[in-house]
Each structure stands twice: as C-alpha cells, then as structure tokens.
C-alpha cells in the first residue's frame, strides 16, 4: 500500500484545494493546527490509536494515544490561559525531545499563542537574542535547563513565566517560576480552542543568516495545508505507518514533519531522545518496527561510517520508505542506503522559511543519486541568473534557486525585521539563498549556499554569531569564522583568531575558547578548530575577507583579491 501516484499525474491540475478538501477546510473557516493534530484525528475514529511512542536515554518509555494527546494538550492550553497568556503571545518551548515538547506545542497553538521552539542545547547568549527579539512572554522548560534562564532573567523583563514541567517538589522555585506536570494536570474534556484563521500566526522559528542577529521566521496556521499534503505524498504517510522523524523540534523539520505533518495524518510516531549510535538507532527501528524514516545526511553518513556489519545484527525489514533533508545528500549515501536497507533515501530540499518540502525526489519518480529531484506539485521553482534575476534559457547553468511565492506554508515575515524579509524577493521570485543547476529532465542539482552561513550536520550556524561570541573572550582581538570540510557533518565551524597583546596561542587556550563558545551559543556553533594567526585578510575598507580563508580550507582558487589590504 502507498499513496503513490505518478509525479506527472500529481502535477497535472494540481491545486492546494486538494489538501483543503482532505482536511475539510474551506477558505475563511477556523483552522487550528492543535485541533487538526489531535481532536480531528479522534473525531475520525482514531482516539485510541497510538499517537506518540517516546523512548528516553535510559530506555524509559511513554506512550500517548490520540485521545491522550488531545486531552493533555487541552490541559496545557487550560493552564496557560490560567496564567493569563493571550493569543499571539510568544511561548517558548525549551526542552529536550520529551513528550512535553510535542504536547506543549499543540497546547500553545490551541490557545492561539505563538510557539517559539528553541534548541535545548542553546547557551545563554543564543537564548537571549532570540527571546529578546520575540519579546517572549513564557518559557516552558525542564529543570535541568532552568539555570540557563535564571542566569539571564534580569535582562528579560518581558518574560512573565518560566514553566517547569518536571519541578522537584522538595526544592523552592525561583523568580517567575511555576511548576506544571502535564501528565497529572487537569485535562478538560471540553476545551474552547481559540478560533485561529488561516493567517493567524502559529510558529516562530529562528534561523541564522550571515550578518546580523538570527531571524524569527513567522509561520501561520494555514501552513498545515502544505505540511499535511507533503507528508502524505512525499513521506508517503499511511494510516498503518510507524513513523520516525529523527529531527529535534528545536528546528523546523522537527515541527513541520516531526509534529504537524505526522499528527495531522494520524500516524503513530516514535521519538528517540538519546544520543546517536548506529546500534541504538537500528535497535530502535527493529523494536518499534519503524516503516517510514525521515532523517538527515549527517546521520546517514555516520551510519555509513559505522559500516555494514552492524546492520546484520538487526531486523530492519519493517522499513518501507526513507527520506532525508538538511544538507546535500551525496550520491554515495543514496546508493549505499539502497544496497544495505533495500531502499534509497529520497532527498528533500526546503528550509525554515519555506515551512515544507519544496524540491524533492517524489516517490515513484526515477532517482538520480545526488540530485534533489523536482519541485513538489504546486511549487514553481527554477534557477535564475545571479546578475539579471532572470531564468536561464537552457539547462545546466548554475544560478540561484528561485521559487514563486504563494504556497500555504511560506513564511509571512521575519519577526520585527520586514526589511530583511523584503530582501529575499527579486523580480517576483523568493530566493532561498542557495545555488543549483537544473538538468535537461528538470532535476535540480544543489551546488551550495549563496552566503557564508555554515551548514554543520544540517544545522545552520551564523559566522557572525560565532565571531561575536569569540570577541567576548578576553584573549581574542579579532576573528573570522568559516566552514571547514568534514566527512560526517559536511561542514564544521573553524575560527581564525588573532590574539590580544600578552596572549599566546596554546592547546589550553584553544580548548578554553572552544568551551567558551559552546557554553554561550551551543555545541553546534563551537569551533572544531581554532587557528591562531597574526593578521586576518581584510579589504582596504577593513572588512574581513572570509572568502579567502574559506577558499584555503576547501583548497579552492582564491579568486579576485584586488581589494585585499595585506597582499
């Protein structure tokens, strides 16, 4: 069984109303993602179906049916309303991949508030810039993460509540803290869901750019129309599927497909909240009989590295469909997955701003390993000349990916940063900021990003944020941060640093600076390598030329250096 109808059939007469009809939504109606992901599935007769099977790092397990998802998220909504949270207030979710994160997400949406998911490994500096920009009213978190918030609380007068889902009753709560045990809270059977409409804001995801602070990508409830249908057609979700999306809901894959796409399709999904190991992942697939697996190239390359022998220890025959997102999926990984799992990982391309899959290896379509595939039905995408912003007249040329705006899950703006949002459009095209070519059969071949943002293991890191953090270290005079090639993560963060007088580069200082960044920002942003140098290459106007350092790392031609100061 599958939802697969040929790509050509799907694009013929495609209209987003196909999705609207399946969801019984009519333009102008109330549309609330929280309701669609729980109440509606119960109404369809699946109240007792398992919605979420969660496994923690100690092997502990928790299960929730769709009815429990519905009631527990009602409880979250009820509690938040009781605290005075209003529609469109920002409520941050700052948790590991625990059930409270998934259920909290739906509960916040049910009262019409805006969910702001933040990766739980973020340090205080990463947190404060994002909470400050969003002017967040409440943060739902775990007691182990609360100290990071306590440290910066004085600087955040807009935060009224820190809600701790696993508070220790024996310990006093801190300033503005309140305990909330989701499983044992009051769970109203009848809960008045806020009547959000298509354009009501839903999720605010932060993403990093080359310059400036991270941008808050504003999504709306209507995004469901895209997320539901792409989950059904690309991830091929069926009622019988046991689905595993390995992404963390601190990032967009973990919400668009790890929550909204999965639950709106009424599948059973499994979550593993534990660190990566090939054995543990294969054991998880075997134990839960995972059928659909959505993961990322870095994980796939790590599994490749772990080798073929370990695979033989497990029964992975339940797997029927695999897909990948976040970074280029190299052809070797596609071919390898076909060989060892009997199924090729299908590459999907999209980003935080697009909210759902844009270009994809549509199931059933011929796979060209190394290609991202073709635009999802209803998506008009091409490649345009970076100078003229016009599409090329023939195949094979490398240019900027350009997408015609207008699909349901497109971001509506960057939060309090309309100017940067407007810059993402040229000549009526939305530009995701990536380069690609298109071959003579319409397949897209990803080339690279069109900016200095580092994509490490599928996570975007801003060189600007890392450089700013480095400058706060007492030994650092100047810094330039670039990507360095890495087999597993594709790219890792590398920092070039000049030291202040009186400091000498050493292994200890190296480690100290790395740790400093890890604590302030996150383990992802931590430089994997620091190179102490005497001078950074700069333009005559004093701008640091990351391009030159980048080219050096990648063994590429340095190109035009006519504006270079110290050549």
For ligand WT7, which is the closer residue by CB, 55 or 434? 434
Judged by CB under 6 A, does residue 328 bind ligand WT7? yes
Judged by CB under 6 A, does residue 234 bind ligand WT7? no
- Using CB under 6 A, which of the segments 124-132, 220-228, 273-281, 327-335 binds ligand WT7? 327-335
Judged by CB under 6 A, does residue 255 bind ligand WT7? no
Paired sense of beta strands 161-164 and 242-245, if any: unpaired
Minimal distance in Å, beta carbon 417 to ligand WT7?
Answer: 16
Report yes or no: 92 and 216 within 8 Å, Cβ to Cβ: no
Judged by CB under 6 A, does residue 491 bind ligand WT7? no
Minimal distance in Å, beta carbon 76 to ligand WT7?
Answer: 26
306's enclosing H/E stretch is helix 297-306
Judged by CB under 6 A, does residue 325 bind ligand WT7? yes
2 φ/ψ angles, rounded to the nearest 5 degrees: -170, 170
Judged by CB under 6 A, does residue 253 bind ligand WT7? yes
Selected from 263, 345, 446, 464, the binder of ligand WT7 by CB under 6 A is 446
- Using CB under 6 A, which of the segments 12-20, 303-311, 341-349, 525-533 binds ligand WT7? 341-349
* Numbers of helices and strands, H then E, in the chain: 18, 28
Selected from 207, 223, 227, 437, the binder of ligand WT7 by CB under 6 A is 207
Alpha helices in 160-249 (DSSP H): 224-233
For 223, the token pair is 């995004």
For ligand WT7, which is the closer residue by CB, 77 or 209? 209
For 243, the token pair is 């689905």
Apex CA 434: angle with CA 430 and CA 435, to 5°? 115
Judged by CB under 6 A, does residue 133 bind ligand WT7? no
For ligand WT7, which is the closer residue by CB, 72 or 351? 351
For ligand WT7, which is the closer residue by CB, 349 or 415? 349
Judged by CB under 6 A, does residue 407 bind ligand WT7? no
Judged by CB under 6 A, does residue 327 bind ligand WT7? yes
Minimal distance in Å, beta carbon 457 to ligand WT7?
Answer: 10
Site for ligand WT7 in 346-375 (CB under 6 A): 347-352, 372
Size of the site for ligand WT7 (CB under 6 A): 23
- Using CB under 6 A, which of the segments 83-91, 155-163, 268-276, 322-330 binds ligand WT7? 322-330
Provide the mask over 457-476, with x wherever binding to ligand WT7 is found by CB under 6 A and - wherever it is not.
-x-x----------------
* DSSP calls for 16-75: THHHHHHTT--TTS---HHHHHTHHHIIIIITTSEEEEEEETTS-EEEEEHHHHHHHHHH
Judged by CB under 6 A, does residue 409 bind ligand WT7? no
Which residues does 41 contact at the CB level (< 8 Å), separation at least 6?
A: 47, 49, 51, 66, 70, 263, 264, 266
Minimal distance in Å, beta carbon 247 to ligand WT7?
Answer: 7
Q: What is the CA radius of gyration of the chain?
A: 23
For ligand WT7, which is the closer residue by CB, 123 or 326? 326
- CB neighbour class for 558 (10 Å; exposed up to 12, middle 13-18, buried from 19): middle
Q: Is the dihedral of CA 471, 477, 483, 489 positive or negative?
A: negative
Judged by CB under 6 A, does residue 434 bind ligand WT7? yes
Which residues does 480 contact at the CB level (< 8 Å), separation at least 6?
A: 463, 467, 495, 496, 536, 544, 545, 546, 549
Report yes or no: 535 and 566 within 8 Å, Cβ to Cβ: yes
Instruction: Decide: helix, strand or coil at residue 411.
Output: coil
Neighbours of 382 (CB within 10 A): 19
For 393, the token pair is 């007249």
For ligand WT7, which is the closer residue by CB, 432 or 463? 432
* Residue numbers at the binding site for ligand WT7 (CB under 6 A): 207, 252-253, 325-329, 347-352, 372, 432-434, 446, 449, 455, 458, 460
């Amino acid at each position: 069984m599958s939802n697969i109808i040929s790509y050509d059939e799907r694009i013929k007469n495609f209209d987003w109303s196909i999705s609207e009809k399946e969801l019984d939504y009519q333009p102008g109606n109330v549309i609330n993602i929280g309701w669609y992901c729980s109440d509606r599935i119960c109404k369809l007769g699946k109240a007792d179906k398992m919605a979420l099977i969660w496994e923690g790092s100690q092997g502990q397990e928790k299960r929730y049916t769709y009815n429990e998802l519905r009631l527990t998220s009602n409880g979250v909504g009820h509690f938040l309303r009781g605290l005075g949270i209003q529609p469109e207030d920002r409520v941050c979710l700052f948790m590991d991949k625990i059930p409270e994160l998934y259920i909290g997400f739906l509960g916040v949406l049910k009262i019409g508030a805006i969910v702001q998911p933040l990766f739980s490994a973020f340090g205080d500096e990463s947190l404060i810039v994002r909470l400050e920009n969003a002017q967040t009213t409440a943060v739902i978190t775990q007691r182990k993460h609360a100290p990071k918030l306590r440290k910066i609380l004085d600087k955040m007068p807009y935060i009224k509540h820190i809600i701790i889902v696993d508070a220790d009753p024996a310990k006093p709560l801190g300033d503005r803290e309140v305990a909330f045990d989701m499983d044992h809270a009051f769970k109203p059977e009848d809960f008045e869901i806020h009547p959000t409409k298509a354009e009501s804001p839903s999720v605010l995801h932060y993403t990093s750019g080359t310059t400036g602070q991270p941008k808050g990508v504003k999504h709306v409830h209507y995004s469901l129309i895209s997320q539901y249908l792409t989950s059904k057609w690309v991830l091929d979700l069926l009622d019988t599927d046991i689905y595993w999306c390995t992404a963390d809901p601190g990032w967009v894959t973990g919400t668009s497909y790890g929550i909204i796409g999965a639950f709106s399709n009424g599948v059973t999904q499994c979550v593993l909240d534990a660190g990566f190991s090939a054995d543990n992942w294969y054991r998880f697939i075997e134990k839960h009989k995972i059928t659909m697996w959505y993961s990322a190239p870095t994980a796939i390359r790590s599994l490749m590295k772990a080798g073929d022998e370990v695979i033989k220890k497990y029964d992975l025959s339940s797997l029927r469909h695999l897909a990948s997102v976040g970074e280029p999926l190299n052809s070797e990984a596609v071919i390898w997955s076909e060989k060892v799992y009997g199924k090729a990982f299908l590459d999907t391309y999209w980003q935080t701003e697009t909210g759902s899959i844009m270009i994809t290896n549509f199931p059933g379509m011929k796979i060209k390993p190394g290609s991202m595939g073709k635009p999802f039905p209803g998506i008009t995408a091409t490649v345009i000349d970076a100078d003229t912003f016009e599409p090329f007249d023939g195949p094979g040329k490398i240019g900027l990916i350009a997408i015609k705006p207008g699909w349901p899950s497109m971001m509506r703006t960057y939060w309090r940063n309309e100017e940067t949002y407007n810059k993402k459009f040229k000549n009526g095209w939305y530009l995701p900021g990536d380069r690609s070519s298109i071959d003579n059969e319409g397949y897209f071949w990803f080339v690279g990003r069109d900016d200095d943002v580092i994509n490490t293991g599928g996570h975007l890191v801003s060189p600007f944020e890392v450089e700013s953090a480095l400058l706060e270290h007492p030994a650092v005079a100047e810094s330039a941060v670039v990507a360095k090639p890495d087999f597993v993560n594709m790219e890792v963060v590398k920092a070039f640093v000049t030291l202040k007088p009186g400091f000498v580069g050493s292994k200890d200082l190296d480690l100290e600076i790395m740790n400093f960044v890890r604590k302030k920002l996150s383990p992802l942003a931590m430089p994997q390598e620091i190179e102490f140098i005497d001078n950074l290459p700069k333009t005559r106007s004093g701008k640091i030329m990351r391009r030159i350092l980048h080219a050096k790392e990648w063994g590429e031609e340095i190109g035009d250096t006519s504006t270079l100061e110290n050549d």
